[in-house]
Structure 1
Amino acid sequence: MKEHFEIACRFYTPTKEAYIGMGIFYKENDDMKIFHNSYHPEMVNYLGDAIIHYAGSHL
Structure 2
Amino acid sequence: MALPLFAVLVLLAKDIILTLLGPAWLPAVPVLQALAVAQGIFTTGFALEPVLSLAGAVRFCRG
TM-score, normalised via structure 2 length: 0.45
Greater CA radius of gyration, 1 or 2? 2
TM-score by length of structure 1 reads: 0.47
